[in-house]
Amino acid sequence: MPIRQITVYGEPVLHRRALEVTEFDDELRQLVADMHVTMDAAHGVGLAAPQIGIGLRLFTYVYADQNDAPERGVVINPKLTLSKVSQAPADVDEESEGCLSVPGLNYPLKRADYAKVEGFDEFGNPVSFEAHGWFARIMQHEYDHLDGFLYVDKLQPRWDKRWNKAKKSLGWGVPGNTWLPGTDEDPFGH
């Protein structure tokens, strides 16, 4: 189970809709295992396949504060049903997100407080659970990756200006930028 390189904003696979998984085989199960190892090495709470350069509709997660979902899992070919998103400005202290593909940066973003998550596990078994609060945020964040969006693509104008300035200064927005958890310096300081 090797740790995989994490792609950074600008890599084309991050900016296009991922393809449905059609084969639930050993190769898929190995990919899921690699994603869990990579997510753990990066100290992440979620990792979508496009973040490691694989354009398939699946993500892994680990989060201990949920009701009926496993603490650790994978959702393949997910469908999300969301509650409404408040139109109030995002709270900088309570609603800031980070992303392994936007390493070291955090910006506030409004999300729905509830998500019904449906999909499949790595064996093709149905998965269905509800997520609330921060766990719902994680589900939405990872799902967005599968549709070719990163959280920074959805920022309010004030934060979008800061993001664009940071992106330019870091040289992101072009292909070829990656980092390797456990080897490269941890961009989040874990």
User: Residues annotated as binding site?
Assistant: 99, 141, 145
Cα angle: 76, vertex 81, 87; to 5 degrees: 125
Catalytic residue among 11, 97, 122, 142: 142
Strands (E), the chain: 6-7, 46-48, 58-62, 72-82, 96-99, 102-108, 114-120, 126-132, 178-179
Query: From the annotation, which residues make up the binding site for Fe cation?
Result: 99, 141, 145
Cα angle: 153, vertex 39, 123; to 5 degrees: 100
**Four-CA torsion 113, 119, 123, 124, nearest 10 degrees:** 170
Bridge pairing between strands 72-82 and 102-108: unpaired
Compute the distance between CA of residue 134 and CA of residue 95 in angstroms, rounded to an integer: 9
CA-based nearest residue to 118, from 106, 108, 131, 107: 131
- Answer yes or no: 27 catalytic: no
Annotated catalytic sites, by residue?
142
